[in-house]
Structures are given as structure tokens and as C-alpha cells.
Structure 1
Amino acid sequence: MIDSVLTPSLRKTNCRQILVREDSVLRKIHKTIGSKRPEQSGMLGINSETDVITHYAFDETSKGTTVSNMPDVKRLNDIINDDWKPNGIQYIGGPHSHPPGVHRPSSGDREYGQQILEAKRSLEELHIWIVIPAVDGHTYEVFPYTLDREGNLELVELVPVDENDQPIIADAHDHSQSEPSTLGPKRPPVVIQSPADVLSESRGRAIVDISGQYIRVHEAYDLARLAASRLVFIGVGGIRDTVLYCARAGVQEFILIDPDVVSESNIATQGVYRDEIGLPKVEAVKRELIRINPNIRVVALQQSVDEIDDPAFQRLLHDPMMELPLPGFGGDIYRELPPSVTVSVAGTDSFEAQARNNRIGLKWEIPTLASQMYERGLGAEITFTHPDTTRACHRCVLWTRYRAFLKEGFQNTVGSSSAPICATQRLAGLESFMLMALLHHGTNHPRFGGLLRRIGNRNLIQIRMDPDIAASLGLKVFDRVFGTVDHDRSLFDDVVWLPQEPEDGIKDRPICPECGGNGDLHSALGKFEDTREMPK
């Protein structure tokens, strides 16, 4: 039987197919890069006569940190010149490993790839395979991309071949018994005709009258508005409690996007349970959502956000899910229309995913929210946009962070490590308040309907969860804001709401390449051809 852990899926996709030797390439990648900490690398060689990738060399002497890798160029060149070239093997690129959730080549990967293509004029394209190693409970995956001379990335499909270069295909019986492949594009770019297609399983589900569930909070929210609202969560790990809070408030439509599975370490940091270990995080959250409200509609995608192209994302944002009666919300509501409002939420610490969330909001003119836990949970931040009320996009607000990632090679290694669970829940509470403000905007609700207008352009929110945050993290804004208060009655757990202006090029900083820096987020509608591409 074919080893499904090592063999790519042979189902038909729209991806270009690349033939790869299973034993001499795929298995060796799995045993080396795929079994070690991220930021390991190697190189690939192709037989110039057969166009089959037949050779792989692990760069065991490379110098790597937790966030970067420096290949041993001399050793690799010796292999190419002494072993590969005399045997008709041409260097074509190589695999290297990323942390979980980072499935596309970074801007630094692409810049380095362009340098290689400039130096090797015989190459038309460079293979850049992103490996997610099987460490800390994560699933081993390979996302193989090629980079052309114009800087375009293409996701390809790997087809394993034997030593005679014949495709290896499992027989139907064995293939049906094996788990889905985790090599090659395990999950090719998502093709979604409509969210309703994903929810076909729910069509026969009995409708439950949940009106009694909201008796004590029917004035706390505009329940009819929330029932007609949709939240898209990019990442559902640390933000899990926020997702569930919104369901308890009455939001009825959820899109959940996260490639990871629940691990034992998540119990202490993300509010999961032991019986969820090994489940995809999106499925674990979906299960909890349905426990809260059996009528809820959920699309759960175990995908990296960059595997979802823009046409598919537009359908996730706007297409009707299905016709479903919702009793108890000011009369029976039959939803067969697009959502009244959709908010896209980046609940991940991936810089690339948060950055795409900004472009999603700009392209489709929808509200967005993103959050970030600071080191050891000493503090946290929330940024948000609404084209009606905020003048600065996320990139304007976080321009120094973008510069650090895109120009200075910075990589975020904080995550939830050493953060107490109470810090995660403290952030979740404020995230939920802000989502209520975004979802209720424009309604007549006495509490939330006009809240976003009152907040105005203060779309950087920071929370102090430790009294010494100025000394430990250098975050001195709290001292400036609260410096004159009664310090006998004030210590920490306070919030600052910081006004933000667009990056318009006036203060010796470049004009924001995403919103244009003109203070009108509406003007970016339809600007991006592909929101997966990050403007420099």
C-alpha cells in the first residue's frame, strides 16, 4: 500500500503537475527538513533529459535561527559542480521549512529567489517549496511553489514517480483506506461555488426554537441585525473565545479558516479540551458553535488563508449560505440573502495573514479587525478599520511593523508562549466589544449603534496587562496617558485608544501602498487584483 504520509494526492486539480522521485527526493525531504525545527533548507536537482526531479540534498551545515536560514552556499555549489552537473542534473531551487500557518514564500524568499534567477540565466523558474515540519503536534505538509522571472508565484502539484520515472498510483482499495496526503498541495486552492454548498449537510437539520436563549439580553443587542451578520475568522486558535462570545451574542453566520490541529499545549493557552486533541481547530470550534446554537451556520475550512484565492474569498464574504428560518429574532427570519454586514477578523499571529486581512477589507469595502498578543501576555493590541469611520488602514497604523518585516527581515516569534490564559481572555473581551460596534454600526441600537462613530479614528487600541510594561517592553504610552492620575488607585489593566492618521507621505514616510494614504478607505474598493500579493 502507498505510504499516504509521503505521497501527494493524485486527484485532479488545476495545478501544473511536476514529476518527482519518491524515494530519492520526497522521502528524504520528509526525514530531514520535515522532521526538524523550522528554518531548515535543501536543494533540488532535475534531470535535464526527462524533466523529472531526481535529486535532493539536505543543507545540513546551513546556519539557521528560529526565524531565518543562511544556506551553506559553498558546500551546495560543490555538490552541484562535482556531482550533479557531470550527470546531467540541473539545480532548480529547493525546499525550506516555515513555522505552521506560513504556507507561502515570504517576501524575503521571493527576493532571494529573484537574485538566484538573475545569477542563473539558464533557469526560467525557481522551485520554492515550503515545508511545514511535523514538530510540536503539527501535521507535516509541503506547499510547492515556482517563481518566474516576473516575480509570479505558482502553486504546483507533485506527482511521485518510481526509479523508472513511472507515476506511483495506489490501487483504489488501498487509497480509500488511507488518510489524505500531507505532501504536495494537500489542500489545493479552495474552489467554492457558494457557502451554501459547504453547508449542504445542514439542510436536513431540525430547526430549534432558541428564542428563550435570549430573553435576558434581547435589549443588549440588535438580535435581528446579528442574525443577519457574518464573521470571517482567519485563525481560530487564540481568538477562539471571541468566536464563541459572538455566537452567544446572536451572530448566526461564521466562516472559520485555520490549517492547524489542536495540540495538547493549546489546553493551557486557547481554551480547548483534551477530547479535541488532534481535531482540526476549525472543526473543534464549529462543534462548540453548534452546541451554543444548533441553528448556526458554519463554514469550517482547514486551510491556510493564502490557499483561498480572491474569487473564492469573495463568495465566502458575500454569498448566501442557505435558506434557514431563525425563530426568536423579532419574528421568523428566512435568510436567503447575502449577509447584512460581513467583518473579516485576523485572529492569527502570522504577519502575512494579518496583512492580507487589511487588503481584503480594502478590496471589498468591509470592516476588519486584527489583534496581537504582546510578549508573555504583558499587553495586547487591537486594530480595526471601517470605511465609514476610520481614515487609516492597518498598514498605516502599523507602518513600523511592516517596515520591520518587509525591509529589515524581522519575524514574529512571540505567539502565545508564556502568556497566561487570563491575558487571552482579557483580549477576547475587548475584541468582542469591538466586533459588536462594527456589526451594529448604522443601526438604532442605543448602546452599540453609534459607538463606532464615537470611537472615530482611534483605531489602535492597546491594553496594559502588567504594571511594568514600560520597562519590560518599552511601551511608554500608558505612562504618558495616565501619568497624572491617582496612582494609589490605578496600576494596570487599562486601555488606551490612540487616534490614527493615514500615511500620506508628509512625515518623511512613504505613502501607504495599500490604501493610498488619502484618508478615504472607500477609494481602495477593487484596487487589488490579488489580495495575496503584498505591495512593497
Structure 2
Amino acid sequence: MKRKGSLVRRCILYVYNGLMSIMQFFTPKSNSFEMEDSDDMKATIHNGIIDDSIKFSERVLDEFRRSVGRYWPETGGMLASTQNSELIDKCHFDTHSQNTPGTFYYDVETMSKVFRAWKSKGYITNGIYHSHPKGAIHPSYHDISTALLHINFFGLDYFYLPIFQPDRKGFYTLYFYVVRKVQDNLEVNLNYVLKATQDGYEYIPFRAWKRCYPIEQLNAYRKSIEKAAEADRATTVTEKNESNIASSRTITITTIQEDENMSAEKSIASTRSMTEVPVQEYFKKVTSLYPDNVLDKVIVCIGTGGARSFLENCARSGFRNYILMDADVVSPSNIATQGVFISEMGKKKVEIIRDRIMDINPRANVICVDKFLDDRMSDEEFKWYMNKFPNKKPTDYLILGCTDNFEAQKRSSLLALKYGTPYLAAMMYEAGAAAEIIFVYPGVTESCPRCLLRDRFEKYENGFVNDVDSSSCPIFATERMNSLKGYIALMLLMYHEDSENPFSRMLDDVKNRNFVEIRLNPYLKDSKLGIGLFDRVFADASRYVYFDETLWIPQYPDRSEFGSETCKLCGGTGDLTSLQEKWKYTDTRGIRFDDTFGDNTQ
């Protein structure tokens, strides 16, 4: 028996050692912001149907009141059923876990003992519960990937993932998610929302939430991180010359194998050793175009796959400082849409782009952040990466939202507004039929991202799920969008930096036309998108246009003066600089959009 217990413990240690670096155990990873519901919206928002086929025993619910239900977010434990898997009647709160405001780590020793004890009694370990900060109520892709690990380890075809919104008096709200393995997919469903009250427990109205995740993709995602998570390896953070970033060539903030790290270092060193030509020779033809202080500004790119050519061309222009944030790896489907190569399969996108930048400009400083911008990342952590480039003012940064994930795009825009930096976001439409770019410069442009994309924000706030990806999108559409993205980036970075340079004054001309669309298909009006604006604008010039036109569409802040309801993000004031002070002590993960501007934090 002793040997069996030791074997079980080693197995659990192996799995959990992998999980520790993979998931940062169940942090809040979804920007899910609940709105204050007006009466006429409740029917749409509260459309969930209660499925209480799986219940908690009252003893377990009472235990939640004394622990996860009243403590600060990022606490939790393990669940089990003693007989019937449809009744969760055992829980263990992990008092030895390592917690921060944004992460939750299990204590492996404790969980090993609990699992062994439950298994010896015939209990079914079938869930993990944890609490999130207010407003973060949904599991993310990372959560689901981790649930798959538990399903495989425990030999189940389901797993329970209750998420708590705690209350200091123990009047918690429990969002009960069930993950089920269905053929080659994981289906995740919000079965019900349970509220702990002074008198007991009651189901409350909720918005339906269901997602389907291909297991093959989840495994690929997991394997991309497991390269750094084997049992005998710890997470490493490699930084070069942290005390003097100006002299640094590459800073890698990621989880990589030691031999891979050494290989990357040797590769970069080799590139430099072959660079006998003075660096300034490479850029002498554009020296007069870009002032040196502009080239020393920082380009922060959230999502790098489709932005690769844009980033490489920034390097060719002489820009030196980059923060690349993306946890994705190169996959076969990227060959046709993102300008990658077969030799790069399985490699981290941020690292291959870093190497390309270094091969173009050996003086570049590149920070690779091997993470997605989701609720696992606090504002404090994001700012920490920005501060790696010291002595910069807000306009010395340009934050770019270049992901295909709306929540990440939204979060990147909120961070830009909080820190007062220029912002640019690009989005490709279905099948590459059109593309859009928005840009914001606090103190110059008046419309915030929610003013510019109000309909889209409202759709997502009401449960819209986007199923459009890069399928059927010509690579030329991406390159066309990246080209215009580059011009607009120059316009933002060069603003009022050199009176003789045309880029220096362009923003003044289009500051109230900061929503840009490109028609990339002549049949756009008759497509599923049904966008007819180009046909109307060019009605009298149809002999001279066909497609590839760009429209700089006039924009106004959302307020009654312009025939719109007041913007729930910026208040429609036109002064975006006010948000720096308003959100100074607010983490953007908790920002929601109330009906009344001025109270949009939770």
C-alpha cells in the first residue's frame, strides 16, 4: 500500500508540475463584464435556462460560505462526489495555496494527500473550484485546456468548473460550468448561477453561455507550453542587462527550455558577428525621414501573427524598441495567412518575429512576452513590461491591438486610455472582403474605441459569439491592411515631432475621421457583409474606381448632441485624457459599462 501511495503521488506530482506552469491555476482569464440591465434588455440578457441535474449538497454550499465565498479572489480547492456524480458532496479548500490578486497556485503536496484519501474511499474527484475578481465570470481558453488535462488524468468524460464571485459576508455568487468530452471536442456550458443569501440559496437569472473547443487545438495549445513544463524543469525568466535596457539587445520574458534559450542566444550572437557594416549604413536612406527620438519610441504589439510584416517593416524603418505579446505558436494553417515558414512550425511567434527584427536591425531592443492579454495579466504586470523602457512619456508608446479576439482588443484599448498612449487596432472582415483600422490619440482625437465601435461592443455585451476566422482570406488582404496600418502608425508616432515632416501634421487633418475602412472586394455591397458605403461615396466616380479604396469616415463622440446615447466608456465628453486620472487606481479587468458614465468599475 505504501508503494502504491507513493506511485499515485508521483503521478499527481508529474501532472501538477506540468499544470503549474501551464495554467497558473485557474486565474480569471476572461474579460466578462456584466452590465447593469435595463428592464427592456433583461429578456435578451437573462436568457439562460437552469439545468440543475447536477447539484451541490447543502453542506458543501455552507462550506463555501466559510472559505472561497468570502475570501479575496484567487482562492479555491477540489471537488468530489462520494457516490453519485450528479451530487457534489465533498470539497477541500486549499489553505496552503500560493495566491496573488491575479493567480492561484495549488499546493501539490496537499492536493496529493486529498486525492489519495478520496480515492481510497471510492470518491470521484471531478472538479476544481476557484474565485475570480468581480466581473470575471467565465472560464477562458486556458481554463478549458487545463480542464482537459484533468479529464485525461482522472479518466473522466466530464469536469466541473464552478467560478465564484465572493462577498466578504459569504453571500457569494456561484457560476456553475460543466465541461464535457463529446467526440473530438470539449463542450462547456453554464448550467446555472446560484446566489448565497442570508436565508439560504437561490437560482438567479443569467445569460446563456456555451462554447465548443476542438480537443486537437487544445492539445496543440497545451503542448506549446509544455515544452517548458516538464517535471524536472522550473519556469525561467531570462533577461539581459535588466539594469540598462538601452544597451540590451533582447529581453525574453517567457518560458523556454534551457537548450532552446542557448540556441536562440547563439543565433543572435552569430547574426551580430556577421554584421560588419555599421548599422547606420542600413538605414541611411531613411535617416532624414524619421528623427532619432521618434525611432526610440516603443511599439507595443498585442497579437503578432498577422502583424508580422508590419513589425518587420517597422524595423526596416529604423524603429528600435518593441514589446511583443502573444502566447501562440506557428501552426500549419498560418502558412497561407501570416507569412510564416514551414521551418518555423511549433516555434513561438514572438520569438521568430524577434529574430527577424534583430536580423534587420541589430540595435533593436525586443521584449517577448509569451502570454495572451487576458484576465491573468493585471494592469500592474502590463505596466511592468512598459517600464522596461525607462524615462518614456505616454506618447512615446504606441499600443496596437492586432488580435482576432474581441476581449483582448477591448482590453488593449482600455490600457491605452488608462496610460494615455496612442492606440491603433486593426481587424480583417470575413473572407478578407474588407478591413478596418481605428486609432486614438488622447488629447487629440475625441471618440474612444467604444464610440467608434459601439454596435460591436453592444453585441458582445449581449452575448454575441464570433465564429469568423481567417479562412478564405487572401494573404494580400492582410498585407494591404498592414501597409495602411504602417502609415497610420507613422502618423501617430511622428505627431508634431518635426514640422518639416508631412507625417507630423497628418493627424490634425484626420483626428475626427479615426475610423478607416478598406474595400478589398468589388462585390462588398452584395456580400454577406452588405457594406454599401463605398458604392454611395463613389457613385459619381464609378468609371475610375473598382476596389482597394480607403475611406476615412467622420466620427463624433457618442452623446445626445450627435444623436447618440452617451458613451458608457468615455461619457462622450471628447476629452479622453480624463480617463488617465479616472482609472489611475483601477485595474481595467474590472471595468464594465454601466448605463451611467462615471461608475463603470466594479
**Normalised TM-score (structure 1):** 0.68
**Which residue matches 1:80?**
86
The separation in 2 between residues aligned to 1:189 and 1:353, in whole angstroms, is: 24
**Which residue matches 1:32?**
none
**Which residue matches 1:232?**
300
Identity of aligned residues (%): 30
Q: Given that residues 371 and 380 in structure 1 are in contact (C-alpha distance below 8 angstroms), is that contact kept between their aligned partners in structure 2? A: yes
- CA shift, 1:429, in A, is 0.2
Pick the aligned partner of 1:113 from 168, 175, 184: 175
Tell me the amino acid that sits aligned with residue 522 of structure 1: T
The separation in 1 between residues aligned to 2:570 and 2:54, in whole angstroms, is: 38
1:423 paired with 2:477, answer yes
The separation in 2 between residues aligned to 1:17 and 1:468, in whole angstroms, is: 46
1:294 paired with 2:319, answer no
Partner-residue secondary structure (3-state), 2:588: coil
Structure 1 residues 263 and 16 mapped into 2: Cα distance closer, same or farther (>3 Å)?
closer
The separation in 2 between residues aligned to 1:181 and 1:12, in whole angstroms, is: 6
Q: Given that residues 45 and 55 in structure 1 are in contact (C-alpha distance below 8 angstroms), is that contact kept between their aligned partners in structure 2? A: no
**Which residue matches 2:251?**
199
- CA shift, 1:223, in A, is 3.9
- CA shift, 1:99, in A, is 5.5
- CA shift, 1:270, in A, is 0.1
Structure 1 residues 476 and 289 mapped into 2: Cα distance closer, same or farther (>3 Å)?
same
- CA shift, 1:355, in A, is 0.5
1:53 paired with 2:78, answer yes
Structure 1 residues 188 and 535 mapped into 2: Cα distance closer, same or farther (>3 Å)?
farther
Structure 1 residues 131 and 11 mapped into 2: Cα distance closer, same or farther (>3 Å)?
farther
Pick the aligned partner of 1:266 from 314, 334, 345: 334
TM-superposition CA deviations, 1:244-273 (whole Å, max 9, x none): 111111111000001110001101000001
- CA shift, 1:112, in A, is 8.6
Partner-residue secondary structure (3-state), 1:450: helix
Q: Given that residues 465 and 492 in structure 1 are in contact (C-alpha distance below 8 angstroms), is that contact kept between their aligned partners in structure 2? A: yes
TM-superposition CA deviations, 1:176-225 (whole Å, max 9, x none): xx843499xx9899999889497287999779731111222223x21403
Q: Given that residues 393 and 515 in structure 1 are in contact (C-alpha distance below 8 angstroms), is that contact kept between their aligned partners in structure 2? A: yes
**Which residue matches 1:21?**
none
The separation in 2 between residues aligned to 1:257 and 1:276, in whole angstroms, is: 18
Tell me the amino acid that sits aligned with residue 316 of structure 1: Y
Partner-residue secondary structure (3-state), 1:238: coil
Q: Given that residues 308 and 338 in structure 2 are in contact (C-alpha distance below 8 angstroms), is that contact kept between their aligned partners in structure 1? A: yes
Partner-residue secondary structure (3-state), 1:315: helix
TM-superposition CA deviations, 1:35-54 (whole Å, max 9, x none): xxxxxxx9898995999625
**Which residue matches 2:168?**
none
1:7 paired with 2:16, answer yes
Partner-residue secondary structure (3-state), 1:512: coil
Q: Given that residues 459 and 499 in structure 1 are in contact (C-alpha distance below 8 angstroms), is that contact kept between their aligned partners in structure 2? A: yes
Partner-residue secondary structure (3-state), 2:316: helix
TM-superposition CA deviations, 1:446-476 (whole Å, max 9, x none): 2211111111210000000011101101111
The separation in 2 between residues aligned to 1:424 and 1:315, in whole angstroms, is: 31
Structure 1 residues 217 and 12 mapped into 2: Cα distance closer, same or farther (>3 Å)?
closer
- CA shift, 1:357, in A, is 1.5
Q: Given that residues 570 and 579 in structure 2 are in contact (C-alpha distance below 8 angstroms), is that contact kept between their aligned partners in structure 1? A: yes
Equivalence map 1:120-131=2 (5 Å)? none
**Which residue matches 2:347?**
279
The separation in 1 between residues aligned to 2:301 and 2:143, in whole angstroms, is: 14
Equivalence map 1:353-502=2 (5 Å)? 353-407=408-462, 409-444=463-498, 445-472=500-527, 473-485=529-541, 487-502=542-557
Tell me the amino acid that sits aligned with residue 377 of structure 1: G
Structure 1 residues 249 and 16 mapped into 2: Cα distance closer, same or farther (>3 Å)?
closer
Q: Given that residues 228 and 340 in structure 1 are in contact (C-alpha distance below 8 angstroms), is that contact kept between their aligned partners in structure 2? A: no
- CA shift, 1:93, in A, is 5.9
Pick the aligned partner of 1:250 from 310, 318, 322: 318
Moved more, 262-271 or 300-309: 300-309
The separation in 2 between residues aligned to 1:194 and 1:460, in whole angstroms, is: 40
The separation in 2 between residues aligned to 1:97 and 1:17, in whole angstroms, is: 8
Structure 1 residues 443 and 507 mapped into 2: Cα distance closer, same or farther (>3 Å)?
closer
- CA shift, 1:300, in A, is 0.6
Q: Given that residues 304 and 325 in structure 2 are in contact (C-alpha distance below 8 angstroms), is that contact kept between their aligned partners in structure 1? A: yes
Tell me the amino acid that sits aligned with residue 420 of structure 1: P
TM-superposition CA deviations, 1:392-425 (whole Å, max 9, x none): 0111100000010002x21222221110000000
The separation in 2 between residues aligned to 1:452 and 1:346, in whole angstroms, is: 19
Structure 1 residues 395 and 524 mapped into 2: Cα distance closer, same or farther (>3 Å)?
same
**Which residue matches 1:216?**
285
Q: Given that residues 378 and 465 in structure 1 are in contact (C-alpha distance below 8 angstroms), is that contact kept between their aligned partners in structure 2? A: yes
Partner-residue secondary structure (3-state), 1:268: coil
The separation in 2 between residues aligned to 1:524 and 1:190, in whole angstroms, is: 34
Tell me the amino acid that sits aligned with residue 356 of structure 1: R
**Normalised TM-score (structure 2):** 0.61
Unpaired segments ≥5 residues, structure 1: 19-41, 58-77, 143-177, 322-335
The separation in 2 between residues aligned to 1:426 and 1:355, in whole angstroms, is: 23
Structure 1 residues 313 and 93 mapped into 2: Cα distance closer, same or farther (>3 Å)?
closer
- CA shift, 1:81, in A, is 4.2
Tell me the amino acid that sits aligned with residue 478 of structure 1: F
Aligned length: 432
Tell me the amino acid that sits aligned with residue 251 of structure 1: F
**Which residue matches 1:66?**
none
Q: Given that residues 97 and 130 in structure 1 are in contact (C-alpha distance below 8 angstroms), is that contact kept between their aligned partners in structure 2? A: no
Moved more, 438-447 or 114-123: 114-123
Equivalence map 1:144-183=2 (5 Å)? 179-181=227-229
Tell me the amino acid that sits aligned with residue 193 of structure 2: I
Partner-residue secondary structure (3-state), 1:516: coil
**Which residue matches 1:531?**
588
- RMSD value over aligned CA atoms? 4.7
Partner-residue secondary structure (3-state), 2:504: coil
Q: Given that residues 348 and 354 in structure 1 are in contact (C-alpha distance below 8 angstroms), is that contact kept between their aligned partners in structure 2? A: yes
- CA shift, 1:56, in A, is 8.4
Structure 1 residues 519 and 182 mapped into 2: Cα distance closer, same or farther (>3 Å)?
farther
Structure 1 residues 495 and 235 mapped into 2: Cα distance closer, same or farther (>3 Å)?
same
The separation in 2 between residues aligned to 1:440 and 1:535, in whole angstroms, is: 33
Partner-residue secondary structure (3-state), 1:380: strand
The separation in 2 between residues aligned to 1:288 and 1:233, in whole angstroms, is: 15
The separation in 2 between residues aligned to 1:297 and 1:213, in whole angstroms, is: 17
The separation in 2 between residues aligned to 1:44 and 1:133, in whole angstroms, is: 27
The separation in 1 between residues aligned to 2:358 and 2:346, in whole angstroms, is: 19
Partner-residue secondary structure (3-state), 2:437: strand
- CA shift, 1:516, in A, is 2.2
